[in-house]
Amino acid sequence: MNKIVISGTGLFTPSESISNAELIACFNAYVEQFNQNNAAAIADGSVTALEPSSEAFIEKASGIKARYVMNKSGVLDINRMAPDIPERSDDQPSIMCDMAVAAASQALERAGRTAADVDAVIVACSNLQRAYPAIAVEVQTALGINGYGFDMNVACSSATFGIQAGVTAIVTGQARAVLVISPEITSGHLNWRDRDSHFIFGDACTAVLLERAENATSAHQFEIVGMKLKTQFSNNIRNNFGFLNRADESGVGKPDKLFRQQGRKVFRDVCPMAAALITDTVQAQQLNITDIKRFWLHQANLNMNLLISRTILGRDATPEESPTILDTYANTSSAGSIIAFHKYQADLVAGDVGVICSFGAGYSIGCVVVRRLAA
């Protein structure tokens, strides 16, 4: 197979961030307001009182200290508790298009490429803002790429699955180079009134440029040496929002139309699956786990990453071996492992091998083994 490389990465980070302290102040104010407004019903047992939360609880449960969001004021308004993002006219670029163009432009610049060098755009994310036309086709047009684009959704594993699709397109001759872009406005699907999950997500967008090694000129090349994908159906992470909701109005506005999960079950199921897939993918390339210099894991939960790396290595991973970005970004769904890869790759030298791994709803797990090439 022709060698395919990641020749550039890009990252769009929103300008606004919410600290745990700010989030807890809002959430606890909402809890107090709810309990006061429902005091009589709580007293007679027909309504359950809400419990306040704390910064210590959030950090212990997740390792998250803050999260970037596209809109802060709406989230922290206790009478709204959702981002305030005005709808744009059809003649304006969508907000996801703006995010994608920013990240993609950075990836192209880092790779030393222009839109004329790219034939395909894959927008791979878990939170698409509309059904059609595809965000990818809008982004393709905005960038001035003469080729094709399509959207795909494999939840938090979308970026790694998108890399697989991009590599296939290049190998089969469908494209010279492919942009895989993951714009995530996770703040829009999050239930900010749910104590167990309101702190989990943040917004961001990543971009990865894939091309043949023989054509690449970037000083930041990583050869893709192996990939493996796995899915297994589970309802333990789910969001029932969709166009069929209008066919049964009784469900409109119900909590299941936002993100929900059974966290303990997810932890129990996904950690061993991810560890096994990483090990299998590495070994399939005639490599040992000890050959892996860095693990860019999905940034969903610090405790999950600690357990996965401990299972793989037989010991705790160092911060250098398994870098963390979720403390400041929170869970950015499909963008998380790519943010870690983007931010923590410069110190690797030619020959160093690393693993990009994402995992989430589906269940879905994507694993990509990469090797740093000489500049």
What DSSP designation does 256 have? Answer: G
**Helix 336-343 vs helix 158-171: crossing angle, to nearest 10:** 70
> What is the distance between the terminal CA atoms of the chain, rounded to a whole angstrom?
22
The H or E element spanning position 211 is strand 203-212
Identify whether 156 is a catalytic site residue.
yes
- The two most distant CA atoms of the chain are separated, in Å, by 73
- The residues, any chain, with a CB within 8 Å of residue 20's CB and separated by 6 or more, are 55, 58, 59, 64, 65, 66, 199
Amino acid type, 188: G
Residue 166 and residue 178: Cα distance in Å, rounded?
A: 6
Residues forming beta bridges with residue 12, ordered by sequence position: 205
Among residues 156, 205, 357, 367, the one annotated as catalytic is 156
Residue 289 and residue 98: Cα distance in Å, rounded?
A: 39
Residue 34 and residue 87: Cα distance in Å, rounded?
A: 29
For 27, the 3-state DSSP assignment is helix
What residues act catalytically?
A: 156
